[in-house]
Structures are given as structure tokens and as C-alpha cells.
Structure 1
Amino acid sequence: MTWKRTTTILTLIVTLGTAVPAAAATRAPAPTVVEALDRTAHPLRTVDPGGDTRDLRPLDRMIADAEVVGVGEATHSSHDFFALKDRLFRHLVEKKGFRTFALEAPWSTGLRLDDYVVHGKGDPRRIMREEFQRDYLWWNNTDYLRLVEWMREYNIRHPADPVRFIGDDTAWTGPEVYDEVVARVAAADPASGERLNGLYRGLRPTVPTGTYIESYLGKPYAERREMAERTGEALELVRRTGADGGTVQDATAIDRTARQYAFDFEEPGQIAEAMRYRDQAMAANVLWWQRHTGTKVLLSAHDAHVGYESYDPAYPKMQGAFLRDGLGAAYVNIGLTFDRGSFNATDQDETAVRRWTVGPAAPGSNERTLDRVRYRDYAVDLRTVGSPARTWLRQARPTYRIGTAYPDGPHDVALARTHDILIHLHRVTAARLRDR
């Protein structure tokens, strides 16, 4: 007994004294941030639409049952971002039942393009040329033209289950929307129609989109406030007549345009309030459409607008945060980053559009680390990535967030606090703008 017990103890001592250090000697070191991202990243085959989409299946799982998916862009004019959104939308239409493409463009612009994709009304090239001016000129590109034409072709094949196009922004409402609202109200109540026509007098645009936006910004603050008071009164009149939901929404779009300009842009605090109003209005337009039509929506906008956190005090709360308030987990957003490449933007004086080139990303930036992942282009779910990448992704560091004018940034962004999913591209190229 004593011998056996001693032998057993000796065996344990040998086991603990030799095997354990051997195990310790072979224990894998803690993963780095890049290694943690490697384990959860899913490679993308291409950004361009067409062909095999099996590489997008991991994104299907990440999106899950979301009703609205915001897809960002780190510049406002790179081909790869626009093409990828086209590819994602086609895939989500076919595999996940999505039916609406929403763009950071005016509500009335969306109505004109929707008329084309659903009914074949108008020429998309002309619509894009007339609507995408000044702040929206970036959308008049060959990639979005291809998307719009694909949507029309899809609807010819599926007339009973069409895809739709909407704009969610506020800077412009076309004259045809004023006329439609007045006509619908007048048909039911001629006296109210006459009153409405008077309230809208002088507000209907009579000049091209870009000229209208420029002239509106140049009006005195008091005049802009008076215009918003009239559109607000008009909206209440439309509501009192018992107009249908679509007519009320169109009158709301008119009112939102006027109220977007009814801020004192000489006051920094008012500028921030104007930007908050814009993001809230854009979210409200998307929510109205989604609830009214019941369709799943891909929302295209800048990374900043689809995200949850703002990196700029001039933008107190972003569209993505408002959408999360309204939809909860039914809203998911995808941020887009890139390491190097080109894009279109004006200079800071906004005097000319030119092609800019940046990269490789600087040391200490988010993109510098993201570009070391083993895949050239990939998607990763920021909500499920392991340590230490999870902590790293929640820390703010320099990131490309380029708007309509350059130089711009980099800006300090905490990726995992801003986005649910990330798609990183190694290189991007400037979009091909039309009519320039």
C-alpha cells in the first residue's frame, strides 16, 4: 500500500513536474489585433455586380432580419463604393427580399427616379443630370446609372413585385411635388386647394436644382424663416383636409426643405442644429417609406450618416442613431474603409472638382491595421470579433472620412462604436462622373 501510494504520488509529481512545463512551453501566444481580425474576416470576390455571389453569404448572416441596412462610403465619389452598393443591393433583392434602394438625395429626386424604375417614365440620364447638381453632383455617375437601369430591367421582368427608389434628403423639393400636392387637395376641396396654392406662391422652384439651393442659402435669415412658417401652415392645411398618407408625406417633404434653411448659419450652434435636423429628417423619410411600403431598404449614404456616433461636433446626432432609435435591431449599418486610392471632390474653396489620391494609410490609423489582414478586400462583423481586436475597434483613431471637399481629415473614429459591420477595401478608384 505504501509503495503503491508512493508510486502514485511519484507519478503525479512527474506528470505535474514535467508535462505541465512542456505544455506551457507550447502554449500559443495571445493573438494580435490582426490575427483576431484574420479569424473573423470573410473575403470579397469583387466589388462589381454580376457573377457568383457566394462570397456575400456571410454578410447575409450578419444582416440577419434587418429591415433597413445602411451602407456607407468613406468618400463621396469612388467607383468601388458605388459599385459595391449596386452589387449588394442586387444580391439582397434576390436572396433577402429587399425591394428599396434609398439614396442620400432629395425626396423629389427619388420620386422621379422611382417613376422611371417602376413605370419607365422619363430618361434616367436626363433625370440624373437635372437633379444631381451642386451638393448632389457626385451621384451623377456611371455606377448609379447602371444600378438604375438594372432596377428598371428587373421591374420589367417582375411587374407585380417591383424594386423601388427613394431619396431621403431635404435640400431641394422639385416644382412637380408642389403641383401634385395642390392638385390632390384641390380635387377634394377646391377652397383648400386655392388657399394652399397661395401659401406655396413664390416657393416653387423656377430655376435648376443647383441654382435654387445656392439662391436659397443666400436669402436673409428672416425671409427663410417666413418661408418655413408658410410651408408649416400649408402642411397643417393638408392634414386637416384628410389627404392620403402619400400627399401628407409630399407636403412634409416641402416643409422639411424650408425648415432645413430656416436656421441662422452665422451662428455655430445653429449650424449644429441644422445638421441634426437634416439627419433626423433623413431618418424620418426612410422610416416613413419602410413602414408605408413594408419593404426592406438598403440605405446609401456617407459612413458618417449611416453610423451611430459622430466624430464632428457640427453633427450632434447622425441618421444611423435616429434609425436605431426607430427600428432597434431592425437597423444594421455597414461602414466602408479603404487603405489607398482616388476619389473626386472639390477643393476647400469649392471652386472646382478634381481627382485626388491618398494612401497608403498613415501609421496609427485604423486603415493601417485593417489593411494588414490576410484578405485584400473583406467583411467583418464588428459585434462578434474576438479579443484583442474587440477593444482595439472601440478606440477612436485617425480614419478616412472624406466628404465633398478635400483636404478633409483624417477624423478620429471608433469603428465598433459607429458601425455593426465593416467592409475594408485595399484600393479604390475615382468614380466616373457624367456630364462633366
Structure 2
Amino acid sequence: MTYRLFVFFFLVVASLIVPFKAESQVDTQDIVERLNHHIVPIQTFNPDSSFSDISFLESLLKEKEIIALGEGTHGTHEFFRYKDKLIRFLVTKLHFKAIAFESDFAALMSLDDYINGRLTKPRFFGGFPAGKETREILEWLRAYNGSKPEKEKVHIYGLEARGFGNIIQVVLDSISNISAPSKAVLQKVATTVHSSLTKKDIAALDSTVSSLKMLVTQEYRPAVHVHYVQLLEQEIARYLRSEKDRLGMRDKNMFENACWIQSQTDNNKLIIWAHNGHVSKSNIFWQDPLGKHLDKKCGSKYYVIATDMNHGKVGVMAKRNKELKYMDIYYPPVSSTRSYEYYFSKCFSSNFLLDLSEASGDSVLETFLNEPKEMRLIGGTEKPSDRKLSMSKCFDLIAFFDKTTAAGSR
């Protein structure tokens, strides 16, 4: 009797499991087949190639004012190369002339001087990812600007101040008539290690910034001088907050700075280069991202192209033997059906573009792209995020790469 009961229960359980597994396989196959009807294969990563494979983007993006180029990691060669191609397309075909990087404002000022011929060599200092791929972008921009009149030249900007040193040096070099006591405070903070600053130092800096605000607003000053002081003020406010609050403030600051940069253009067009987590239109983490603020302000004029990967090497900061080093870390293929990459990796093309709005015209894909799933997101360190997101609520277009390599050495 016991044996018969065992066999009975085994058959019941098996009858439940096998159809479920078969149904799951059918669902996966159906989704992949539907995706295959909408993906556009990426023919080449080469930024120097023609734009024939992305010519459809011209009509799709012609009315957009802010186009964000997201990245699923900060250290993937294919992401950077393809974003380079998209920048060249947006500059030459749609006349974008301003690019804002998730980088230090002062560091980008120097590089803007280089691409506009005011320096003979690029000067890299803290706050910009000076890898092989980004250097190639700078060289192309320099060559492009070299043949253009002043009003048609491209300018690059940083979206934030990273620490006090760089932005204080810009303030000291640019703003005249700063009092001797204020200069002394600025110089002390600029030359003090960030972690060694005291509350007294920050209080003195805060008071100095109040004086600077009066100085740059009471007298006739270039708009950029006011912005320098605002960047310094933002960094003080971030310094005084808890680590958690700083994260939320960072995206809000980048939003305010992006708006200022856009206001400096003559055609209201701006390209943003930042992590997917920052440019997303919806919350991925607890804080409201830069992209959510921009989406609220710009509506349909804001467009997000996110990059995604299945497996490969990524350049990240990793701790080994208690020391933080920049390393190439391999991430294996995604195997979970709870992840978008699982389905993307099974499509007929290894690398492709997917217009999420167009694909959502299919009711099955609309549900698939709207339901929260895991998406591979890796920041500056090696541990990936395990957050779920609704892809169609966060982004407009996905550039997917099945296998990737690490970005060039820095």
C-alpha cells in the first residue's frame, strides 16, 4: 500500500511539473519569436562606418531635445564604441552641439578647450573616464570642430562637481575681485584631503560661497561664473548630508546642471552620457534619477537609449587583498527567466536595437516589457545590482550586445 501511494503521488507531482516546464518553454519561444519581428541587427560597432543601419533613427529622434545615451556598465568596450557612433550620428545628422557627461564639470572644461583647439594636448584630471574609447571620441570631436565655424562647434560639459578641488580652482582662476580672506578659505579647502575637512572648514566655505554669490550676481558676470558658484554650493550641500541623502541629491544636482547646459545651447538640444540608472525615466533605486526629472520637465522631448549585455568582461573597481584596483571581471551568461537578457540572448541576432514603443504594439511584448524583471546593471564596482525594473517604463530604445569585452585601459 505504501509503495502504491508513493507511485500515485509521484505521478501527480510529475503531471504538474512537466506541463509547467513545457508551457514555460513555449512561452520563452513565443516571446523570442515575437522579439525577432522587432529587433534591428547592429551591423557594426565601428563609429567611422556609415549610418545606413541606423538611418531609421533620424525620423525617430528629429523632434527630441534631450537624448540620453545610457550604459549598463562604466567599463564595456562595445557600449562606449556604439555610443561614439550614436554621438557622431546625432552631431552630423541632427545637429546636436552639446554633450554632457556623468563627469566632473571642471575636468570637462579642459577637454572642451582641447576639442575646440584652445589646447594642443588633452589634459585629463580627476572626474573623466580617460580610456581608449573616450579618447577616440575626443579626437573625432576635435577634428569635426576644426572644420566648423564657431557657432556650429560642439561643446562638452560635466554634469556635476566631484569634490571641492577642481571647481574651487576654476573659481579662483576665473572670478576676479575675490577678497583675500575668501581666497584663503578656498585655497585651504582645495588643498585639504576631502576626508580631513572639518565642520569648521565647511562652515567657512559656506560663508565664502555666500559672498561669492553676491559678487557674481551684483556685478556683470558671464553666466558660467554664476554656474561655478552653484556647483560649489551643490557640493557643500552634498558634503553635509548623510551618504544615503547624497545619492538623491546627486541626481537632482545633475538635473539642474543639465537644464543649465541646455539653456546655453542655441537650439535647445543636448546629448547626455551617463549610466542607465541615472538616465532612467522611472526609479530603479530608491532615489529619483536624473532621467525622471528630465522626463517630467521635457515629456516626449526626452528620449533614452539604454545599453545592455548578456555576458563578457567589464572593467570595474574590484577589491583584492584589501586593495581597490581597476580590473577586468568576467560576468557569465544570464540563465534566469526572470531577466530580460535571458530572452534577448536567444534572438536571431547577437547584437541589436529594440524600439520599446514599437515592440509594445504587440500585446504579448507589451506585457513582457512592462512587467518588472531583472536587468544587468553594474556600476563602478564589481557587484551587479539585483533590482527589478520595467524596461518600457524606464527606457525608449535598447542597444543589446550578447558578448562584450572590457573597455580599454585607463
TM-score interval, smaller chain: 0.7 to 0.9
Distance 1:283 1:420, change over 3 A: same
Tell me if 1:284 matches 2:279.
no
SS of corresponding position for 2:71: coil
Is 2:134 aligned against 1:144? yes
**Alignment-derived partner of residue 219 in structure 1:** 197
DSSP-derived class of the 2:246 partner: helix
Three-state SS of the structure 1 residue aligned to 2:285 is: coil
Which residue pairs with 2:175 in the alignment?
182
Q: 1:45 to 1:67 in 2, by over 3 A?
A: same
Aligned-partner Cα distance in 2 for 1:206–1:227:
8
Q: Is the 8 A contact 1:345 1:354 kept in 2?
A: yes
Check if 1:75 corresponds to 2:73.
Answer: yes
**Aligned equivalents of 2:210, 2:195: Cα separation in 1:** 19
Unaligned runs of 5+ in 1: 1-28, 187-192, 264-269
- Aligned equivalents of 2:47 and 2:113: distance in 1? 23
Q: Identity of paired residues, percent? A: 21
Residue pairs, 1:123-138, within 5 angstroms: 123-124=121-122, 127-128=123-124, 130-132=125-127, 136=128
Q: Give the deviation of 1:245 after TM superposition.
A: 1.4
Which structure has the greater CA radius of gyration? 1
**What CA distance in whole angstroms lies between the structure 2 residues aligned with 1:366 and 1:350?**
34
Give the root-mean-square deviation of aligned CA atoms.
2.4
Contact 1:309 1:418 in 2 (8 A): yes
TM-aligned CA distance change 1:141 to 1:147, over 3 Å: same
Aligned residues of 1:33 and 1:387 also touching (Cα < 8 A) = no
Decide whether the 8 Å contact of 2:28 with 2:343 is kept in 1.
no
* Distance (Å, rounded) in 2 between the aligned partners of 1:400 and 1:408: 7
Corresponding residue for residue 23 of structure 1? none
CA contact (8 A) 2:310 2:333 kept: yes
Distance in 1 (CA, whole Å) between partners of 2:76 and 2:203 is: 37
Structure 2: 5+ residue stretches without partners: 1-26
> Residue in 2 aligned with 1:374?
348
Answer yes or no: is 1:167 the counterpart of 2:139. Answer: no
In structure 2, the residue matched to 1:272 is: 244
Q: Measure, in 2, the Cα distance between the counterparts of 1:248 and 1:301.
A: 24
Q: Which residue of 2 aligns with 1:201?
A: 184
Pick aligned residue for 1:88 from 83, 86, 89: 86
> Which 10-residue stretch deviates more, 363-372 or 171-180?
171-180
Secondary structure in 2 matching 1:305: helix
Tell me whether 1:412 sits opposite 2:382 in the alignment: no
Deviations 1:36-95 (A, max 9, x none): 322221111112211221111223333231111111111111111111111111111111
Partner of 1:305: 278
Deviation by residue 1:303-342 (Cα, 9 ceiling, x = unmatched): 10111223223xx110111112222221111111111111
Deviations 1:200-253 (A, max 9, x none): 533348879xxx6xx324434564455345324422442233423121112212
1: CA distance, partners of 2:377 / 2:97:
29
Distance in structure 1 (CA, Å) of the matches to 2:120 and 2:283: 38
**Does 1:98 find its partner at 2:80?**
no
Distance, in Å, in 2 between the alignment partners of 1:407 and 1:428 is 17
Deviation (angstroms), 1:392 = 1.1
* Aligned 8 A contact 1:42 1:378 in 2: yes
Q: Which residue of 2 aligns with 1:111?
A: 109
- Tell me which moved more, 399-408 or 166-175: 166-175
The answer as to whether partners of 2:167 and 2:228 remain within 8 angstroms in 1 is: no
1:45 maps onto 2:21 in alignment: no
- Partner residue, 1:25: none
Q: Distance in 1 between matches of 2:384 and 2:188?
A: 32
**Bigger mean CA offset, 57-66 vs 357-366:** 57-66
Displacement after TM superposition at 1:122 (Å): 4.7
Instruction: Give the conservation status (yes or no) of the 8 Å contact 1:170–1:282.
Output: no
Structure 1 pair 206–140 and aligned structure 2 pair: CA distance change class (3 A): farther
- Shift of residue 373, structure 1, vs aligned partner: 2.0
